[in-house]
Amino acid sequence: MNVAVVGATGMVGNVMMEVLKERSFPITQLIPVASEKSVGKVIDFGSLKCPVVSLETAVQMKPDVAIFSAGGETSLEWAPKFAAVGTIVIDNSSAWRMDPDKKLIVPEINGDLLTENDKIIANPNCSTIQLVMALAPLHKLYNVKRVIVSTYQSITGTGVKAVQQLENEREGISGEMAYAYPIDKNCIPHCDSFLDNGYTKEEMKLSNETKKILDPSIRVTATAVRVPVVGGHSEAVNVEFERDFDLNEVRKTLHETEGITLKDDPTSNMYPMPRYAQSKDDVFVGRIRRDETQENTLNMWIVADNLRKGAATNAVQIAELLVKKGILKAGQTSAQFSA
């Protein structure tokens, strides 16, 4: 089928194309879409030579599916235009996540909600995805009441500019700054912009998106921190349940959950770290232990590659699920809009 990747020249866009190849998604034509300055650039996609096109051109080509990773403003303007010609849009920005008429999907958790009426589908925030992947199976067993999460987020979540800043600082080179402060040998408790309530947008995404995906009654409070790491986000998570739990059952449940790798043996220094998660699709969970200060409360440590499961892989998995359910079919736009 014909697949457009909007934001193809960005970090997430590049990973999206890698994941599409790795997972052998059925592609007849890849349509890389980027800003005007990149139009005409040729991208190699397996045996295909794919010229970058503009958004206007991509809409006219009526792809079967368009996977967006080009920022919220672009998504708000262009996703409806793609949907209007029959293209199913999977959007990686925050533009549609909290829209009550749009589904916010992690396939392993709530993919069953997707129907033929869903023309614009939202991909959750990277930090939210890894959090809910670990919470979902435990919520079914014990009912999550409250979550306290502190994130340790990779600079790749900010983009190429942040990676360049870190590299410049480590080489002693002055250059453009993605952050207000140096990131090397530093931690910056500032992910996205601050809101009137004192929290950042990133912190509120964790709260609001978790409620929408899992359960609106769950209370979530977050502190999001940028750290000088390339290749994965980490989260220290404290979870209060309505019912008591058995640690062996917790470990067994997580071990048996699709998309999760349990890495939890402190006696042999086995626990999740970004260097293990980098370029992998699973969410890694470890440091599982009871909170000894409060009843029915668990501590755990969650790590995932924010560009993979946190963004590109989850989006491609949504597309795969749409194909499996018969919602996404090759040639659907040309057949539907042939007139």
Beta strands 42-45 and 48-51, pairing class: antiparallel
Q: Are 206 and 126 in contact (CB under 8 A)?
A: no
Cα 225 to chain centroid distance, Å, stands at: 17
Burial of 140: CB neighbours in 10 Å, binned 0-12, 13-18, 19+: exposed
Angle between helices 313-324 and 11-22 (to 10 degrees): 40
Is 233 among the catalytic positions?
A: yes
At residue 312, φ and ψ (nearest 5 deg) are -65, -50
- Active-site residue, from 139, 190, 233, 255: 233
- Please count the other Cβ atoms lying within 10 Å of the Cβ belonging to residue 66: 30
Q: Please state at what angle helix 126-142 crosses helix 201-213, rounded to 10 degrees.
A: 40
Letter string b/e over residues 77-94, b meaning 16 or more CB atoms within 10 A of that residue's CB: ebbeebeebbbbbbbbbb
The catalytic residue among 50, 126, 139, 191 is 126
Decide: residue 29, CB within 10 A, 0-12 exposed, 13-18 middle, 19+ buried: middle
Cβ neighbours of residue 326 closer than 8 Å, sequence gap 6 or more: none
187 part of the active site? no
CA–CA gap between residue 152 and residue 193 (Å, rounded): 17
Active site residues: 126, 233
